[in-house]
Amino acid sequence: MQSAAAIDRPATLAVKPTGAPLGADIEGLDMNRPLGEAEANTLKEAWARHQVLRFRGQQGLTLDGLAQFSRSFGALDKRPTPSKPMSREYEQLPPEIAVISNVKVEGKALGALGDGEAAWHTDMTYNEIPPKGACLYAVEVPPAGGNTQFANMYAAYETLPEALKQRIQGLRCIHDASRNSAGELRIGYEEVTDPRQTRGAVQPLVSTHAVTGRQCLLLGRRRNAYIVGLPVQESEALLDTLWAHATRPELTWTQVWQVGDVVMWDNTCTMHRRDAFDPSTRRLMYRTQIAGIVAL
Ligand code: OGA
Ligand code: MN
């Protein structure tokens, strides 16, 4: 028999690490229900520790529910201006909801990023204060491909050879704002031909996490990146070395999507990429973005 105290206690959440260098499943949560304070604290702790949280089986989640859940972790950003005209459905969504999809309605995209590969990146580090994180909610999933990989940028820093750690201490890098994660040129930008001319925020190569205080590697995206003050050749070579190190499979975890999955990543200590998938199949995800509060 359950005691009265047990009945009064909020449902306990189970945090189940993936076994990879990052990521954990959270079980026992109906995301349509507002979070209790204890639950929110458990999730914040788990997020800081595991960097990416996955909530399976959220098929009934509404867009309001997704926004409300996301707001428990900070103010939400409005969705960015898309790089091409979007469907009416997209324009009519609440401003805090973005769509990641290859689906087209009357010839116009219902969401961003299409069906190609999205190269490794951290979201919007070309802004001075990049977002804290994002939630992606899978409503339609292709039968194959379209998986999302995450890389642990604490581990990327910690496993660098000592000499390399010292070499990059204090170095800063320009993060290119000209192209989105699908490689499309943003409105108002021109092709970069010399990385020293790249437009975007300058970020330290090593950043300190606002919550955990741990150091991590901050790379953003590879294309058009430039380490300030180095000859271009040297900057290219050093960036190539760091990128090869940070994206080694043993530092990553792959999310193989199921309908009803919600994945929430800490954008300030991870990178992610997406596999391409068959354009004749459908992938539909709703997305919220939690605003950053500090420079990295
Ligand atoms: C994003 C992103 C990848 C994916 O939403 O920021 O990069 O798997 N998505 O859709
Ligand atoms: Mn992204």
Q: How far apart are CA 48 and CA 51, in angstroms?
A: 6
Strands 104-105 and 98-101 turn out to be unpaired
Query: How many Å lie between the centroid of ligand 1 and the Cα of residue 123?
Result: 9
DSSP string covering 32-49: TSPPPHHHHHHHHHHHHH
Bin 170: left if φ > 0, else alpha if -120 < ψ < 50, else beta.
left
pLDDT value at residue 182: 84
Taking the domains of the chain in order of start, what are their residue ranges? 4-144+256-290, 153-246
Sign of the torsion angle spanned by Cα atoms 153, 158, 159, 164: positive
The string of pLDDT tens digits covering residues 23-49 is 999 999 999 999 999 999 999 999 999
The string of pLDDT tens digits covering residues 199-224 is 999 999 999 999 999 999 999 999 99
Query: How many Å lie between the centroid of ligand 2 and the Cα of residue 274?
Result: 9
Mean pLDDT by 10 residues, the chain (296 residues): 44 92 97 93 97 97 97 96 84 94 92 95 97 98 98 98 98 95 87 94 97 98 97 98 98 98 98 98 98 87
pLDDT value at residue 1: 44
Nearest ligand to the C-alpha atom of residue 147: 1
pLDDT value at residue 8: 41
Architecture of domain 4-144+256-290: 4-Layer Sandwich (3.60)
Element (H, E) at 88: helix 88-92
Q: How far apart are CA 148 and CA 290, in angstroms?
A: 19
Element (H, E) at 227: strand 226-227
pLDDT value at residue 7: 43
Q: Which of 54, 70, 99, 100 to mutate to test the pocket of ligand 1 (most atoms within 8 A of CB)?
A: 100
